[in-house]
Structure 1
Amino acid sequence: MRRLVLGLTLIVTLTSGSYLGSQTVSAASQPSGRTNGRGTNILVVGVDSRTGLSAAEKRRLHVGGEGCDCTDVMMLVHLSEDQRRASIVSIPRDSYVEYAVPGDAVGPASRGKINGAYKIGRGPLTVRTVEKATGLRIDHYLETGFTGFEQAVDNLGGATVCTDKPLKDENSGLDISAGTHRTDGNATLRYVRARHINRAGDLGRVRRQQRMVSDMLAQLSSEGAFADPVNTVRTVQELLKSVRTDDRTGLGDLVRIGWALGRLSADRTEFSTVPIADFDHRVPGVGSTLVWHEARSRALWEALRADRPITGDPRIQPVPETPALTNPAAVHVRVDDATVAEGLRRSGFVVTDTSASAPPVRPAGPPVISYPVGRQADASTLAAALPGSRLRVVNDGNAAFDLAVGSQPVVIKTVTYDRNVAEGAPVTAESLRCTGTSPAQPVGHS
């Protein structure tokens, strides 16, 4: 089935990829420190290269500039031994790791961004570096370039993307309004490539890629694209025309993997991003990098090695006593009580003490939080620190929050903000999918 062919190609590319003839990449030699574990691990990478693209194609795809000759997308797909669960872990391109550089290598630095391993030693070194960083054995390797994605989405009839706020990124050319959209290949490409939305970086982009893949899988499954195993063989044969594999990955392997993935329900498909401890670790000569959270990432790899689910594991994603939806450091609040002001300051909020102008007689009731229109998430974070407080939205053009303490005693809780929760916590596919039933007008780019 043509749709199944394109759907699986889309899953393994995740971002636009240039057409590659049927090729294989030499298998990586076994590095020290990796363990066999259970299940099957597939490393899927998309390479950032503009080689072969004309100036017109670059303009149309909005991919100007020079490619880095590095991996732009990296996903580790773990298929359980019983083939009843898939755990898909995105590895951010800026992850700071130690390369599995051969002992006789001269020149390359021993540490750097994980995407740089490809430039040093292509697919084999990329595999060995991931194995060294995770302790997992990589059974199969799939690699594609930087186009083909657009055509795949178009031939599938488009993709569904959704956002709760307008998204605009000049670098990728993305410009869509809030809501659920049916996008053509070009617009979908811009959606999954955007890295400069809200907080710059890869984690938001990775989550959008995961959401788009989740919705695409749902679409294909609902259309019966995975219903016939015979067509899976035809699909893999087509897939091998546009994807590189290592020499340990043959037709039979990909048929087994594709058939298993196609039969999984949404609650048996998990998505996650490697937990991060430092989102801006500066390294001379390398730049801003991401440092993995040592304990959480170790728990993640151990779960995959033991063939266990990664969702619901508190070692990977601890559940704080009082979670915050947003970063308290971004919430500026004026507080008319000195004691409460100091308590909120200790919890990370940016506080201005206005107790000098507080009313001599406190109004009856709990604290009242007045917050600007559009800041509901930040208001929820502040309310979490002040259980029992009341929320009141105002539209006076003021960006600050105001807290008016009432006559009731105030309880102040320390909130915990974890960026990994919002942008990469382990979740099942059903929680990622767009839920809108009335898509907005189709979005496309010529």
Structure 2
Amino acid sequence: MNNILQTEKITCKDIAKLIPNVDGVIPSGSSEKVIRKEFQKRDSLQNDKIKNVYSQLESIFKAAEVVGLDLTANDASRLVRDVLEGSKNGSLSFPSMYKGVSFNPKTYDQSRGRGEWIVLLDFFSLMRSFVNETTVMNQENPKFLILDAGLYWIINLLGIEGIKLKNQTPRGAASELLETIKTSLQKTEFKEIVECNRIRNAYLRAIAQQFPANMAPQVLSLKDIWYDDSFTQFLSKAIELFCTRGIKGWKVSRPVFYQRYMPYSPWVTPLVAAEQIFVGQRFGFSGILSPTAEAGWNKAIDQFSRYMNTKTYIAWMYSRKIGKKLSYEWVPFFSDSEDKLRSKMQMAQTVDPSANELVIKFVTPFVEPEMIANMNDALKKRNLKKLSEFVFNFMNRIEKQACEFLDSEKDIPLTPLNQIGWLTNFPPGIC
């Protein structure tokens, strides 16, 4: 990022330039004319307001750089819209966002055991780094949430034949679909999938505990949403939009075609659409973070938000730089011994001298500035002993906490949504 904030005047054109293209994802609404209209709608073309919006957006992109993510968004004008709409009494509120964490079949299998990789830190590190980067004074607390979305994998395995919805109404079909899912969670054939998801969920909650207690981001599971009575109404509306009813029952007539490890079931489409609008309405979220590979979902979510007459979403999208440097097996795992970790970092240094820097970037937002300086010095000197010790000490804390959760719980604990309040608050300032 440049030092443009030090210049006398910032324009709408500067904001347009701030949001990059990433992996072929080109933000819409990023022309100077469109962005200017967002300010004009709210009588906010004063330079101080343009400068404040620029500062807010620059902070999140700088935070992404710090943790090794290439970040973009689906629509620049929506970013401006939400920052301005969040303004109260001269303060600014950054658009709230959440991330759905998908299923990773490599987290666990009976023959290999379990292992979770360091990139699970990405959104957590981004959150922490963003708060560290924030410079706008008197802003409201940013709101962030993690949604463990791994159980969509069971929908994929059920496929079209495993989901038969006969009820005549969308509301009845929604209830049938949710009951089918809940029943499937108890089936022996999906036992390993449920266990794999339980393990990843434990790591998510263990990472959340690396924040100060009053700053810990909320981690929810899909089960928390599926078991909430009010979700049925959102799902019924998604079925109305994306599905049609024929002689043999309901089918998804407008699916999103997406593949990750395997082709996604058409039934994931109404479930994901309902989930995103439900979370947005229930908790006030206006954006979601996902990989650029999932950009195909943006159109469907926009369609459903318009169908539900809700504000269109900001889809933040990212690409991990580390994924372009190292193969999966050479990325550090939380369960790695210090020797194993050092071996991986030695290999990473051989493959690409910058790879270990990307590993360190996931961890540095959680440590004191003095330690960061020490790690940068170790990186410069390629001191793998110090680097591996630094990374291991942090990752081992997460590993131990995840093990405590797994040893003490047989299932992912349900979180009643009417009890969480604004535990998604994330205080401003250095944390």
Please, what TM-score do these two structures have when normalized by structure 2?
0.23
Structure 1 or 2: more helix by fraction:
2
The structure that has the greater radius of gyration is 1
Please, what TM-score do these two structures have when normalized by structure 1?
0.22
Structure 1 or 2: more strand by fraction:
1
